[in-house]
Structure 1
């Protein structure tokens, strides 16, 4: 029974978001909710990116000769890129699931960062 509720909860959340009727209208409410979810995911993605980047042996080697400011600037550029591109690989169902389940959120964020970090490092190196 608990598994059924856990599976139906994200679906209900998504469906009720579509049925919202308030003074803003359904499209404005849905857009606002989606924007808030995306901002929250971007923050989580940026944090995960920073952690992942600092754990990469290649990053540690590449930044040994950089000043703290240089390292911070490059890290900000890379993780900014990841924060912008990673949400594109996350579905609406993933966003709903992430809102309800912290362990799922961590997995979704980790997968999104993994998919985009290498491309962003390559962009920053150019």
Structure 2
């Protein structure tokens, strides 16, 4: 999974850089790159970490693989969507250029939002 992130993150960063509306504004570009990189990293971390959540283990014990995968996709999508709301603009800019800072921010975001997103997804599944 980590290798997949290492391959996907640069591609996402490249596309995010191309999609920047104001290439002369480095703060805006850095922020866009930071959001893209953060979302990719948060999603990967979430997919790795979700199986350690006690509520997840209990709730999915009797589900089919397809049901678990659908809910897991919803949960990690939720975590990725909430990621930019959980960090400052400075952290986003830093995440775009500093891999160690990105890892710290990703850990923070996932730990703060995964339980809420698991509970949200399980409520919707009922």
Structure 1 residues not aligned, in runs of 5+: 1-23
2:34 to 25, 32, 37: 37
**Offset of residue 61 of structure 1:** 2.5
CA–CA distance in 1 between the matches of 2:30 and 2:100? 21
Q: Which residue of 2 aligns with 1:60?
A: 57
Q: Which residue of 1 aligns with 2:118?
A: 121
Q: Which residue of 1 aligns with 2:15?
A: none
TM-score between both structures, scaled by the size of structure 2:
0.69
**Offset of residue 78 of structure 1:** 0.6
Q: Which residue of 2 aligns with 1:16?
A: none
Partners of 1:86 and 1:115 within 8 A in 2: no
Paired residues, number: 102
**Offset of residue 115 of structure 1:** 1.3
CA–CA distance in 2 between the matches of 1:34 and 1:100? 10
Q: Which structure has the larger Rg over C-alpha atoms?
A: 1
Structure 2 residues not aligned, in runs of 5+: 1-21
The answer to whether residue 81 in structure 2 is matched with residue 78 in structure 1 is no
